[in-house]
Structure 1
Amino acid sequence: MPSPHDLKTILYLSTSSGPGGAERVISNLAASLDPERYRAILCLFRPGWIQERSEDRGIRTFIIPTHGMTDWRWALQFKRLLRQERVDLIHAHEFDANVQGTFVAAMSGIPLVATVHGKNYFWERFRRRLAYRWVSRRATMVAVSENLKQFIVEKAGVSSDRVKVLYNGVDVLPHCGRADVDVCRKELSLPENGQIVGVVGNLYPVKGHQYLIDGIPAVLTKCPNTSFVFAGRGQLETELKEQVHRLGLDSRVYFLGLRQDIPRILAMLDVFVLPSLSEGLSMAILEAMIAGKPVVATRVGGNPELVLDGETGFLVPPRDGKALASSLVTLLTNRQQAARFGEKGKRRAEGQFSLQTMVRAYQSLYDECLQSSL
């Protein structure tokens, strides 16, 4: 067993405390590093879901509040933490952590990996585009999909050779059998029979839930015994529930809130749907694929890099409730096709998008960065 001084300490710095896809990636990655080579710790701007999840997995977590990019007190405290914990490399995630982390890393002579998970927070403002160009010259920048890399290159003006693509990875989910599904249906007061369509994602405008709800009446016309479950919480919850009520769908749509049992939720679905308006690389889709579920998703962001249209699911235009409904009806009325899609998607997730594949890729990148810093 190596001594602590023989291990390379990787500090994960996260802009958000979750829950969300990026936060699950961070927690899974930190907990899965080779314990013979690395030691992982986590630093956050605020407490939250990721702190609890990571500490439960044995990852030491530090909270250093920040008041923004010019908070020199945060920079000094973070620099002190790097020194006290003998950090060898910082792995920052999302805009604030990437920029603030790069500034302190440059002062401290520590390499930094800056992962970008999404599109919605930096390219509109000129100073943020400039900030990412600065980060790209001083850190190793990673995009979680080819689509996101192209977006960063075009919108932020970052040189293409300064951005690497490393896909998110998903772990094998706990097995949930028929008995688990029956219990879950009963707990949620879902009908004993009939099919279930589900979506997992925070109830934010970018996730496009309203367009799925628009398409539900058309699905029920062809598949009247279908129920829809929405797992997640967020600012649109009241508005979406009002939309459901206006359309007379109260008996067919279930809002589940934030769930800690996503494997059980996925296990009872016949089809998984994600009507997003924008995505980096969706962990929700990956988890549905690893659970063996056919996927209907919008043709945005990294979704086409995950879902093979007509092979593991269907891709439809964003903001199109009719297209969502048509694809859902196709899978709900052709169970053999749905099963084929689900099985092929599962094999795809277990290979190219597994947690082990992601961990190996990042460990190789860490080694490359550490070697270059010598």
Structure 2
Amino acid sequence: MSKKVIPENIRKSIPETTPARSASRPIWLIVDSQTLGGIETHIQELATALKASHYETQVILWQDYGQTHPLIARLTARAVSVSVLDGKLSSLLRLAKHTRPLLIHTHGYKAGILCRLLKPFLSCPVVSTYHAGETCHGRLALYDMADRATACFANATFAVSHNIASRLSRPSIVLDNFINHLSQTASQGHQIAFVGRLSHEKGPDRFVELARRCPAFQFDCYGDGPLKTALAQNCPANLHFHGMQADMSDIWPNIGLLIMPSRHEGLPMAALEALSFGIPVIATAVGAMSRAIIHDHNGWLISPDEPENLHYWLNHWLTLPAEQRMHMRQQALRSVREQFSAEAVLPALLAQYSLVVNLTPAKLI
């Protein structure tokens, strides 16, 4: 039986007040992470938006994995405080006692499970966002099961798609991912690109096959992951692997079309980033992708079981007159501004924060 999902009508009851000064007690955003991905990009955007709204915000990385996490530089550039723990529960409890967070917002499996179970000792509310839409296997399947089962210990849970929310052990609120930076002009780039983790659920093998079917065009792949070696060994000459990028902001303007052939998704940040630069997206209709991509408006959606249709819609894009291409780029920019900007999404999240700390948004300071 599917779980009840709280309707997305909470925006109607959100007070229009905004905080006027910084909080003395920080909001924690905590994650266990080794590299950049969709969750880390979401945390960056959320921390930036909270700080811009005058909330003291601190990002907590659960453990130092031996190299400086690229998220640290991104957050430091935005004047967001970052703390790196040593992976010990005692360190988490000690830091919580010292900084007295107003609220802890978890992201990802480990941080979510640990903070929800430790909530009685953290002396503050714990809320969690669930991002992953894929079906996990092996050890990750155990993490996923524990992550969903312990959702009931959180003060509130959020999910980036209805499908993810329906799998949790408590009613959950569906909130969209969002983007702070909105380009004022649409990208004029020409690259046909894949941006994301090179793993089975993201479908990079489908991107490789698409490049193979279109030898007259150059294809560019940005990202890293467990399939990189196998894909690189069997890729066609017109496909270039660029690897993991510490910062995509200078690369997006070179991209003209994003291909997202995923088998499973939540609401991918890469799609929103592309749209924010006026880049249309061809994607499989999985997870909440249909919320971001409106077919024949700012991109095209295909069935996840019919990846061969990627070729059809790619040819359609390549043969569109210049004025129609520009129109789709403008539609891409408009769709992010209206639905996936911080201004559109953050008030709903702040309203939920205020509920769990029993304060109105104006007093959440």
TM-score bin (small chain): 0.7 to 0.9
Which AA in structure 2 matches 1:78? L
- Structure having the higher Rg: 1
**Counterpart position of 1:90:** 104
**Alpha-carbon deviations, 1:316-348, whole Å to 9, x = none?**
123644211111111111144433322212111
Gaps of 5+ in 1: 67-73, 182-194
Q: Tell whether the 8 Å contact from 1:278 to 1:300 is kept in structure 2 after alignment.
A: yes
Structure 2: runs of 5 or more not aligned = 1-18
Residues 122 and 39 (structure 1), Cα distance of their counterparts in 2 relative to 1, 3 Å cut = farther
AA partner of residue 171 (structure 1): N
The superposition leaves residues 161-215 of structure 1 with CA deviations (integer Å, 9 ceiling, x where unpaired) of x20111110122556899x96xxxxxxxxxxxxx431111122222111112112
**Aligned: 1:64 with 2:85:** yes
Shift of 1:109: 3.0
Q: 2:91 aligns with which of 63, 77, 80?
A: 77
1:226-265 to structure 2, matched below 5 A, reads: 226-244=217-235, 249-250=236-237, 252-265=238-251
Report whether the alignment pairs 1:110 with 2:124. Answer: yes
1:256-313 superposed Cα distances (whole Å, 9 cap, x missing partner): 1222452332222222111111111111110111111111001111111111122221
* CA gap 1:212/1:121 in 2 versus in 1, 3 angstroms: closer
Moved more, 285-294 or 268-277: 268-277
- Report the TM-score when normalising by structure 2: 0.82
1:164 to 173, 180, 196: 173
**1:10 corresponds to:** 27
Counterpart AA for 1:355: A
Compared with structure 1, are the counterparts of its residues 61 and 127 closer, same or farther at alpha carbon in structure 2 (3 Å cutoff)? closer
In 2, Cα distance between the equivalents of 1:30 and 1:77? Answer: 22
Over 4 Å off, 4+ runs? 1-4, 34-37, 121-128, 173-178
In the other structure, the counterpart of 2:38 is: 21
**Secondary structure, counterpart of 1:199 in structure 2:** strand
Per the alignment, residue 200 of structure 2 pairs with: 205
Secondary structure at 1:96 match in 2: helix
Match of 2:317 among 331, 336, 346: 331
Residue among 158, 164, 169 paired with 1:142:
158
Query: Cα 1:3–1:347, aligned 2, differ >3 Å: closer, same or farther?
Result: closer
Task: Give the structure with the larger helix fraction.
Answer: 1
* CA distance 1:35–1:241, change in 2 (3 Å): closer
Tell me the residue number matched to 2:355. Answer: 368
Partners of 1:17 and 1:51 within 8 A in 2: no
2:290 corresponding residue in structure 1: 304
Q: Specify the SS of the correspondent of 2:312.
A: helix
Q: Which amino acid aligns with 1:283?
A: M
User: 2:8 is matched with which residue?
Assistant: none
The answer on whether the counterparts of 2:179 and 2:341 sit within 8 Å (CA) in structure 1 is yes
What TM-score comes out, normalization by structure 1 length? 0.81
CA distance in 2, matches of 1:49, 1:326: 37
Check whether the contact 1:176–1:264 (CA below 8 A) recurs between aligned residues.
Answer: no
Identity percentage of aligned residues: 24
CA contact 1:78–1:104 (8 Å) conserved in 2: no
Query: In the aligned structure 1, how far is the partner of 2:37 from the partner of 2:21?
Result: 34
Counterpart for residue 190 of structure 1? none
C-alpha distance in structure 2 between counterparts of 1:236 and 1:128, whole Å: 21
